[in-house]
Amino acid sequence: MTTVQDALSPDFIAQINGLDIKARLVVEGFLTGLHKSPYHGFSVEFAEYRSYMPGDEIKRIDWKALARSDRYYVKEFEEETNLKAYLLLDSSASMGYHKKGGGSKYQYGACLAAALSLLLLNQHDAAGLATFREGISNFMAPSSRRSHWRQMLDLLDKETPAGKTDFERIFYDLAGHLKRRGLIILISDLWDGSNAVLKALKHFRHLKHEVLLFHLLDHDELALPFSGDLAFEDMETGERIQLDMASAAPEYRRAVIRWREGLNRECRKNFIDYVPLDTKTPFDKALLSYLHKRQRLG
């Protein structure tokens, strides 16, 4: 089975490392003295050791560690970062949809989350991760430690899509974890059937968080490329419906277009980045396209 890390090619990682996902909106404290804290390596909380590398300041070498191991190490600290980001990944049953032999929406979203978190950590920001269904099923608080990313990958690989979605409860649970203003990145197919998502995202904007919404849909869900008289079953509720594709498919496609256009309008009104994605587009190309666009508008 392909892991999330396997899906991130070295070439792709090199490309995203040259980009920036900093908030375009000036959220209090984010852009002041960006990554030029006078307290670098001076924080109250020690994070981990790493091997000395050419270019590191000699004063950061831990001489006691050298005496014990005869190897050069420098200390890294959990610093006061300019940005705390929360990646929220939908792991409900509908995210498990995939074509035979293809990857699921959950796998696509997990790759997006892994790439975005790596980008943030490489910029010395703090990234956290939550997977959710009817409530939050897993939560990792934001951290800027290099070892944090490996733990995030483990969580992403272990999670299996299941259960229903209840956005109202999810965002209620999440509110208790948001200790300061930050960047909220929601990755979901949004098959919830309620207005809870937009209400919650508007509320987060009101609290001065910056919000990105990646709306994932499989190409089948966009185009409904089937024919004949077919039965469809809701992956979360088990509800079944019989449809004649000749008459149902055209109206369905129009309804999906209206749905996405409505989401886009509401997000634009509230300064929320809305990013609709078709999973037939490779996730690396889709993310690079978005990041390049963000750079131009920044």
Containing domain of residue 250, as a range? Answer: 4-27+81-297
* Residues 56 and 197 both lie in one domain: no
Which residues, other chains included, contact 283 with Cβ-Cβ below 8 Å and sequence gap of 6+? 7, 108, 111, 112, 115
* Residues 125 and 66 both lie in one domain: no
User: What confidence score (pLDDT) does residue 76 get?
Assistant: 61
* Residues 106 and 71 both lie in one domain: no
CATH code, domain carrying 196: 3.40.50.410
Phi, psi angles (nearest 5°) of residue 84? -115, 125
Block means of pLDDT (10 residues each) for the chain, 298 residues, are 86 85 51 41 53 67 82 65 86 91 92 94 89 90 88 94 87 78 93 82 88 95 93 90 93 95 94 95 94 77
* Residues 176 and 288 both lie in one domain: yes
Query: How many domains, in total, are found in the chain?
Result: 2
* Residues 197 and 141 both lie in one domain: yes
Within a domain: 87: yes
Element (H, E) at 192: none
* 252-288 burial: b if 16+ Cβ within 10 Å, else e: beeeeeeebeebbebbeebebbbbbbebeeebbebbb
* Residues 52 and 172 both lie in one domain: no
Q: Within 13 A of 35's CA, how many CA atoms are on the CB side?
A: 11
Within a domain: 118: yes
Within a domain: 187: yes
* Residues 132 and 240 both lie in one domain: yes
* Residues 259 and 178 both lie in one domain: yes
* Residues 165 and 61 both lie in one domain: no
User: What confidence score (pLDDT) does residue 36 get?
Assistant: 41
Within a domain: 290: yes
* Residues 11 and 67 both lie in one domain: no
Q: How far apart are CA 239 and CA 24, in angstroms?
A: 42
Q: Is 139 exposed, middle or buried (0-12, 13-18, 19+ CB in 10 A)?
A: middle
User: What confidence score (pLDDT) does residue 24 get?
Assistant: 55
* Residues 89 and 215 both lie in one domain: yes
User: What confidence score (pLDDT) does residue 69 get?
Assistant: 83
Phi, psi angles (nearest 5°) of residue 206? -60, -35
* Residues 55 and 66 both lie in one domain: yes
Within a domain: 40: no
Within a domain: 32: no
Contact 162, 133 (CB under 8 A): yes
User: What confidence score (pLDDT) does residue 243 get?
Assistant: 92
Within a domain: 37: no
